[in-house]
Amino acid sequence: MAAPQIENGYTRIANELLEAVCRLNISGSEMRILLYIIRRTYGFNRIYAEMPLTEIAEAVGMKTTHVSRALKKLREINLIELHPSKGIKPQTISIVKDYQKWAVESCTELLLPKMVTVTNSGNPSITNFGNPSITNFGNPTITNFGNHTYKENKERYKERGKESRPPSGRYGNCFLSQSQYDELVSSFGKETVDRYIDKVDCHVQSTGKRYSDFSAVIRKWIVEDGADKKQQQAIDYNSVYGQFVNDFINDFITEEDKPYG
């Protein structure tokens, strides 16, 4: 009969961080490894700890190759930091405590507008599913979290309406609402915006960084690279060239050849 007691040891973790972990939309194996890392770090009042792959694999019941792959994914989405050690020492691992830098969507952000049921909520103010303004939930019930693939997540984003932020780019790391995308295209042109979406997407994939406003990042990169000026020069050139062609034609058309009206 199991009889765990807090006197035999416990893991001290901030409720805010634990709640952020609960909202993570990651696979079950990744979550198990993340929880073990929390156990081995915060469980010993440490920021980081040495953890060989074999130790993690035995603790969570996985193969070392699968553990290595999951650790790489957790690092890519900026949930953990890996610190390689020299010699025969194992690598050290730490949790990224600033959850706002995590480059992964939360389950509540993906499913709340679609799956929430509000009962006895007092006086809720709900505007629309695309961009809900919800106050005084009362007793929300959220069901069917599950683990979803990139394709499934993209479909859920489409269903949430105009102000959702579907994943964009080769790796799905860039999140823009339709209105943000349209505004960027209006300012810089579709070809330029699509090119910089790919640049930001690859940057996030390779560095694990997370941005709260991808529209602002894309706009900043375009302006810093001078791509906006190149776009304007192209527009000005087309305008001047079009006027030149019209003037040239008008100079060679006689009054008799010009159409009436």
In a domain, 240, yes or no: yes
Task: Identify whether the C-beta of residue 139 lies closer than 8 Å to the C-beta of residue 131.
Answer: no
In a domain, 235, yes or no: yes
Judged by DSSP in three states, 92 sits in strand
Domain of 212, in residue numbers: 165-252
In a domain, 149, yes or no: no
In a domain, 143, yes or no: no
In a domain, 17, yes or no: yes
Alpha helices (H) in the chain, listed in sequence order: 15-22, 28-41, 53-60, 64-76, 107-115, 150-159, 178-188, 190-207, 214-225, 227-252
Q: Residue 30 sits in a domain of what CATH number? A: 1.10.10.10
In a domain, 207, yes or no: yes
In a domain, 113, yes or no: no
The domain boundary, picked from 80, 101, 122, lies at: 101
* 179-184 contact pairs (CB < 8 A, 24+): 180/214, 180/215, 183/215, 184/215, 184/218, 184/219
How far is 138 from 196, CA to CA, in rounded Å?
43
Residues 22 and 97 in one domain: yes
| DSSP string for 181-232 | HHHHHHHH-HHHHHHHHHHHHHHHHHH----S-HHHHHHHHHHHHTHHHHHH
The domain boundary, picked from 73, 101, 129, lies at: 101
pLDDT one digit per residue (tens) for the chain, 261 residues: 888 888 888 899 999 999 999 989 899 999 999 999 999 999 999 999 999 999 999 999 999 999 999 999 999 999 999 887 766 677 899 999 898 889 887 766 554 444 444 444 454 444 444 444 433 434 443 333 344 455 555 555 555 444 578 888 888 888 888 888 999 999 889 999 999 999 998 888 888 877 888 998 999 899 888 876 655 555 555 555 566 666 666 665 555 555 554
Q: Which residue's entry shows tokens 């003037």?
A: 247
The domain boundary, picked from 101, 126, 150, lies at: 101
* Threshold 0.95, pTM exceeds: no
In a domain, 154, yes or no: no
Q: What is the number of domains present in the chain?
A: 2
Residues 95 and 173 in one domain: no
